[in-house]
Amino acid sequence: MGERGEVDEQKRATLRRFAAVGAASPFARFTDDDSTGESDVRDAIAGYLAATPGAHFSKLRDDLKLGTGETQHHLRRLVDGDVVEVHRDGDYKRLYPAGQFSEFQKTALGYLRRDTPRGMLVELLRDPTATGSALADALGVSRPTVSKYAKELEGAGLLSREDGYQVERPETVLLLVVRYADSFDANAARLAGQADQLVTFDR
C-alpha cells in the first residue's frame, strides 16, 4: 500500500475507534441519516471530546487526522446542535461536551491541558506543602516561571497564594486528573494511581 493509502487507513482506524465511543456517549444525539460518513466523523469528534475534554481545535484536528476545513465544518454542526461547546482560554478555544462541566471544571481542565500549570497542580495535589522552589525543581523550570503560572492560576481561581501555594477545590481538581489521566501525561497517571491516599484534604 502506498503512503497515501496508509495515511487514509490510519485516519479511518482512528475515526472508527473514537466513533465507537461517541456513538455510545449520552450526548450522541446528532447522528445523521446519511450515506456520506459525516455522522461517523461527528461521532468520532464526540468520542474524542468525551475522552479528552478541553482539547483545543488544532489538537483535535491532528489527533483525528482531519483536515482544517473538515474539522471546522463538523464542529460548526456540533456547536449549532448544542452538542459541543467552546470555552475561551487565553489564545485557545477549548472544546467540551455541552452541559457536562461547570465553569470551574472547564477552567481547571483548560489548565490541566497545559504542561507547566498541569505539572504544578499535580505536584501540589501530591504534596500540598510544596514550595515554589520545590515545584521548579520537580518540573525542571525556573522559579520565575513557577511564579508566573502561580499568579495566572490564582487569577483563574485554581490556586491560593495566601499561605504558600494551595490548590482551590482540590478534590474536584483531583477527580478531573483521575478521570482523564490517560489524556494527560505519565505524571498525572501516577497521581491517579495514588488518588485513594490523597482524598483527605481539609476544605
Does the pLDDT value for residue 21 go beyond 70?
no
Give, in degrees to the nearest 5, the angle at Cα 162 between 203 and 141. 100
Q: What is the pTM of this model?
A: 0.82
CATH architecture of the domain 104-197 equals Orthogonal Bundle (1.10)
- State the span(s) of the chain assigned CATH 1.10.10.10: 3-100, 104-197
Query: For the segment 139-186, what is each residue's pLDDT rounded down to a tens digit?
Result: 999 999 999 999 999 999 999 999 899 999 999 999 999 999 999 999
- Burial label for 156, CB within 10 Å (0-12, 13-18, 19+), is middle
Write down the architecture of domain 3-100 according to CATH: Orthogonal Bundle (1.10)
